[in-house]
Structure 1
Amino acid sequence: MVELRVLGSDDWPLWRELRLAALAEAPAAFGSKLADWQGEGDREDRWRGRLEIPGSHNVVALLDGEPVGMASGLPMDGGDAVELISMWVSPRARGRGVGDGLILEIERWALRRRAATLRLSVMPGNDAAAALYGRHGFKDTGEPGDLLEDGAGREVVMAKALD
């Protein structure tokens, strides 16, 4: 059974565990790198700070009590859009509805905030994630996303109008 849990800053060890696992398992899926969050970057105040971003909604998914996924919703500067970030599901939990549950939870949060649009960015070539987002009504906006580390490609920006 999949259970979703909203985190506060005291839950930073759980967020840390999942985020490090995500960056290790799927390094090409994120703008952040594992090395950025290790060594001197692996500090309690930094992890807490990530969970204390004003207006954020940070969620983990538990499958049979084990942490297997994560996602965050963040308000965007100006306007009435919010953003889905840091989405990841452990390979052992993929195909079991975990990703669907995380997306729906962030969407519910966005609706409670009266957001009109939920946006996200996905790395080019991450077809499984793009397909999951597409099943939830996200469409490629055609806007240029953040520049990739190689300096040539860009993230794909997707958005969904909220009703």
Structure 2
Amino acid sequence: MTVTVRRADPLGPEAHALLGASAAMMADRYPAEVNYSMTPEDLDDPAIRFVLAFADDKAIGCAALATRAGYGEIKSMFVAPEARGLGAGAALLRTLEGFAREDGLPALRLETGPDLTSACALYEREGFATRGPFGDYLDDPLSRFYEKPLGA
């Protein structure tokens, strides 16, 4: 099965379904004060590029790149449980990394939950290393922070 990634409207029905599933999963795992899920409306911003991953024309994953001062932040990364293991997560990350490189951003950063072990393993395989909190995030044991320098 081939996975493709393309830009998408975060307000579209496929995005709504994936973002809703992601928000529900995160709400079940984490208290509101450390749950940084973004709504489709939050993602409909000129400083954010939103993408969907597809397999056989079915949307199976989503992610966004938010341009920040001095770095790009990976947001709303999610792959539907039934589609995990197909390579969608890596394809989403590589697409966003390509956008960040095109924009000349020096690094990518993200926040995730420490018990999302498959996601953490993916980030580490893709060259991300743990770091401390950044931006408005608080130092909390329910958050894990990653960064990937992009070089020149």
Structures share fold, TM-score greater than 0.5: yes
Q: Where does structure 1 differ by over 6 angstroms across 4 or more consecutive aligned residues?
A: none
2:137 to 129, 141, 146: 146
Q: In the alignment, residue 65 of structure 1 is paired with which amino acid? A: D
Structure 2, unmatched stretches of 5+, are none
Alpha carbons of structure 1 residues 91 and 8: separation in structure 2 relative to 1, 3 Å: closer
Give me the whole-angstrom Cα distance separating, in 2, the residues matched to 1:161 and 1:140. 12
Root mean square deviation of aligned Cα: 2.5
Aligned residue in 1 for 2:35: 31
Aligned partners of 1:147 and 1:154 also within 8 Å: no
Give TM-score scaled by structure 2 length: 0.83
How many pairs are equivalent? 145
Larger Rg: 1
**46, 59, 62: which one aligns with 2:51:** 59
Residues 1:155 and 2:149 are matched in the alignment: no
2:137 is paired with a residue of what secondary structure?
Answer: strand
Which of residues 109, 113, 116 is equivalent to 1:123? 113
Unaligned runs of 5+ in 1: 38-46
What's the TM-score once normalised by structure 1's chain length?
Answer: 0.78
Q: 1:51 deviation in Å? A: 3.6
For residues 34-87 of structure 1, the C-alpha deviation after alignment (integer angstroms, 9 at most, x for no partner) is xx96xxxxxxxxx3x3343122110011111111100000011x2x21100100
Asked if structure 2 preserves the Cα contact closer than 8 Å seen for 1:146 and 1:154, the reply is no
Q: How big is each residue's C-alpha offset from its partner over 1:108-151, in whole Å with a ceiling of 9 and x where there is no partner?
A: 01001100000001112221111100001100013478349xxx
Answering whether residue 14 of structure 2 is matched by residue 14 of structure 1, we say yes
